[in-house]
Structure 1
């Protein structure tokens, strides 16, 4: 039996995205502007002026009962007076006047709406009423509290903040923040968009819906998102799946990544997951590239939008400065961006080209004496580096601004290199604030990406490498694909019945569940009196660990419910009496277990994306160290191995000081068994906490476990 579950608890009856066709919203044949005004500087006039100046070729209907005509266009007293069908109604009135406008929208059958003002839901339920009505009428609404959009492909801008003139490009940008939308629209023209949307409150239509629309545009080459949250997880994941299938990179800058908003949880796993765990897992699964700043967001999107070749290898770089070359090496080390290794023939060729004193290395300083050969050295060096087998992308760093360029020929060399390079190629000006807009536009017209700022350039290169690696993995055969045999079917049926009947499994039951799913556990015995405890200890062998098994105690150490290293019957009897008197008679006994290191496995139900699995350093380190990683339960075995590689504790698996290496692949298979458990039973589980798991060269064994059902 294969258990299927939604990616979150989202109720699709309240999520209208599946009903929406956004074409009438984002590429309308007609636009009605409610609140149009002839007054210069007013919102109603700015929106109308920007729409008319954007090259829009459809019909425009100003709506305001105060005027007969605005900007030489007939002005209507209401939507009902417009004789033609209206695809989009832009609502530029104060929030207290919005409801009558939407009643008119529904009466007239308009196709979509754009609401600029914020709808405050603290009083009167206006937001929920608008959302419910939109669902009922299948009406997509952009906003409220948004700044509209620029559809450069459709030559349609419905906003009160104009964009700088720019050529049509392949970057589709979606932002929750209106200020980020404005900054993107006012940014350097080297950033070339096909779509720029400010989504605001997402009354009826989520980020996932706008992503889907953008991904359906043939011109979209990269998707960049500035988001605060995901209100419709299913639509979001569906869009990411489409981006993966179409090999369109998705770059995200997400705010609100701290753990302050994490809800209280029964297990350590839930407590440390925080608000970022679900995004971490989903982004890893779909190859989403997360960045910290809007600058990195645009720069990475711009570079990736121009990359159509992804092959193994690293960065090749040519610079016109020894000092900046050294800074590049230092910064690349900090950001973990490797440089391509040069072959001996390439080194020999470069030695014959470079002036005396310049070493034939990568990155390469090619800036020699200011003579007639200065420019030709750069040309020849680039020709050599882009052909190197270990070079996957090439950077050309030179200092040129719109006010001063010592060697304008370098721009021509960049264009020639782009035309002949078998790998992606870009130009860097190391100064982030460099004034080189004209040079950048000229090079961009020739297909050459120009990045200002060394750090942003290296972040973009790192993202290029990560996306390349993701594509290579996606094209490789998956290991550990879903299989279903009769034994698993029986186990799933057995434990579904147990979980439905019990909100929290006892530790003994939890360890039994793990054993059934192929996760080895330490031998355990239960006792409810001192005589049984002594007999159990004799069978297990000293030293013994004695723990309370009383129901409702989730964190035993917090209440003094764990006694370790008991070496005699007398000590056992004394420890038992202490636990019985303070906590109750039920106990669990286990032999003391030592290993090389401790891990923890966990599962939590993320409020946005549903069940997640966690791999972490174990024991006390689960709380002391931020050494953990999350994934979706559908993760395959090769992805599980990469989860181990992301842990700082991973180095302790290697042989050192006479200790043999621990087989990471074998331990990864145990964690993959745990993922299978969570995948098959995840719809019935709120949390699972297995900590510690003792690991050494002989294998791993779970010592303690907590399983919490979501059946109330």
Structure 2
């Protein structure tokens, strides 16, 4: 409850309206999810400022947050328990499982939850989003009374992909008639210097508001004329059809001006980072809201669930068949028992081939020495098979898997069950580099095909899918289809699924498909199984 009181205190200080304050404590009487459900329907509430350690009911939380997104009420969240120590303290303090921070971020990105790290950010960003409905920003114009402040603001905006477009020629010409000769910057961001009169400063603001390429205007104020400058900004803001935000960098000498802006509900931020966070959060929320309202989750198709053994995993042949039925394309392959059978299968499939020992106690074949690649003759296959079987003696071998070799971009695709939010789709760089690079993106299931495309764009290493250094673009539509099939398989495996991996899916050049070359599943034992 103490932290909630701090947030309310700071909100009152900044003249941010508070419709209600709820401290859920250890959630014996009421949960965070129940509060979100109430605020989604409360006509007085326009945004939610959330300080949260852990979430007890991930599914209910997601439904409540989704409802807020649908009705246009942003959640601004200060999520604690991101560090190992923080997660441990969250568990002992509230009895709730904080869950992995990656899972929380996946939910936040899917639903447009704006994440912040400080109380000041929480109050300023939530206050802005509760008042401002114009949230689509293609470009922002910046005017500052200091060259350094204009550069600092531009850095923060561009770090969050908020464009500062070049001003229209008519705007540049108009500024040339307003600014003194020593104010050399006549383009975005505009440095008017500290000595400009209030009358001219007001006209500069009006000129920037009229620029057709600017969807919002940011005024960065450093001077000592606090009340005068605030009156000027307030007047232009009240007459503007575009959002006019201020970044008030001064301290006690200009505090009266900041208070005047707060009282008149003109967006006022104490540093450029928080201002940029608010603009990016507003834009991100609107994008997430539009995507959520138009999304079409991937259909399950076929049986909603499959019969599973009461304990243990699935034999590879069973898993491969289920994957095929779910729509996961696989390379031509054959499961055999002896080196001679492997050689015959290789002739049938066509060289070169890969050879693997299948055993449930050898999930990572490279480290176990249970894999041979690029085998070009029947003799090579026969020798490799004998060698691999000898090397893995003592393992619970299901057989030898012979696969036709394919080349292309390798992509890791998996589904893992988070204890709070349930199954998450994870996409990253594939092959043996997956864990080393830790370059992944994830979303909670179910997902849409568009969300899969978005995830692929979030993984830096997968920029090669678009083509790189002479390599042709990869077959991204086929990859999306393969990932959709894997999510379908995960949903069919049901509540006993712990994890499901296709590492890698090999994506060939455009028009030539994408194929899973390795599948691995982990299941929990059925309830009551001995």
**TM score, norm. by length of structure 1:** 0.66
Residue by residue, what CA displacement relative to the aligned partner does 1:277-319 show, whole Å, maximum 9, x if unpaired?
Answer: 3312322222111122222222211221221223341222111
Change over 3 Å in CA distance of 1:682–1:435 after alignment to 2: farther
Aligned to 2:210: 387
Q: For residue 620 of structure 1, report the CA deviation from its aligned partner.
A: 1.7
**1:526-541 to 2 correspondence within 5 Å?**
526-541=335-350
Change over 3 Å in CA distance of 1:300–1:682 after alignment to 2: farther
Residue by residue, what CA displacement relative to the aligned partner does 1:358-392 show, whole Å, maximum 9, x if unpaired?
Answer: 3321121123755xxx2233222222322334323
Change over 3 Å in CA distance of 1:665–1:593 after alignment to 2: closer
Change over 3 Å in CA distance of 1:325–1:561 after alignment to 2: same
- Secondary structure in 1 matching 2:14: coil
Aligned to 2:410: 598
The match for 1:496 among 306, 309, 312 is 306
Q: For residue 259 of structure 1, report the CA deviation from its aligned partner.
A: 6.7
Unaligned ranges ≥5, structure 2: 89-98
Unaligned ranges ≥5, structure 1: 1-146, 148-177, 264-273
The match for 1:233 among 28, 52, 58 is 58
The match for 1:212 among 37, 43, 50 is 37
Which one scores higher on RCO, CA 8 angstroms, separation ≥ 6? Answer: 2
Contact 2:343 2:379 (C-alpha < 8 Å) held by counterparts: no
Q: How many correspondences in the alignment? A: 508
Distance 1:409 1:435 in 2: 12
Matched, 1:181 2:11: no
Cα RMSD, aligned residues only: 2.8
Q: For residue 578 of structure 1, report the CA deviation from its aligned partner.
A: 2.8
Contact 1:351 1:359 (C-alpha < 8 Å) held by counterparts: no
**1:155-554 to 2 correspondence within 5 Å?**
178-179=2-3, 181-182=5-6, 184-185=8-9, 189-192=13-16, 193-258=18-83, 275-356=100-181, 357-367=183-193, 369-370=195-196, 374-399=197-222, 405-406=224-225, 408-430=227-249, 436-474=254-292, 477-478=294-295, 480-481=296-297, 483=299, 488-489=301-302, 492=303, 496-497=306-307, 499-500=308-309, 503-554=312-363
Distance 2:475 2:172 in 1: 39
Q: For residue 224 of structure 1, report the CA deviation from its aligned partner.
A: 1.2
The match for 1:649 among 457, 461, 477 is 461
Change over 3 Å in CA distance of 1:429–1:179 after alignment to 2: same
Change over 3 Å in CA distance of 1:387–1:506 after alignment to 2: farther
- Secondary structure in 2 matching 1:196: coil
Distance 2:78 2:194 in 1: 40
Distance 1:704 1:209 in 2: 42
Residue by residue, what CA displacement relative to the aligned partner does 1:551-589 show, whole Å, maximum 9, x if unpaired?
Answer: 443222332221222333343333222332324472111
Residue by residue, what CA displacement relative to the aligned partner does 1:31-62 show, whole Å, maximum 9, x if unpaired?
Answer: xxxxxxxxxxxxxxxxxxxxxxxxxxxxxxxx
Contact 2:414 2:425 (C-alpha < 8 Å) held by counterparts: yes
Contact 1:181 1:197 (C-alpha < 8 Å) held by counterparts: no
**1:57-96 to 2 correspondence within 5 Å?**
none
Residue by residue, what CA displacement relative to the aligned partner does 1:427-453 show, whole Å, maximum 9, x if unpaired?
Answer: 11236x667543323212212121111
Contact 1:299 1:456 (C-alpha < 8 Å) held by counterparts: yes
Distance 1:682 1:343 in 2: 57
**1:576-591 to 2 correspondence within 5 Å?**
576-581=385-390, 582=393, 583=395, 584=397, 586-591=399-404
**TM score, norm. by length of structure 2:** 0.87
Aligned to 1:707: 521
More helix by share: 2
Aligned to 1:686: 498
Contact 1:500 1:684 (C-alpha < 8 Å) held by counterparts: no
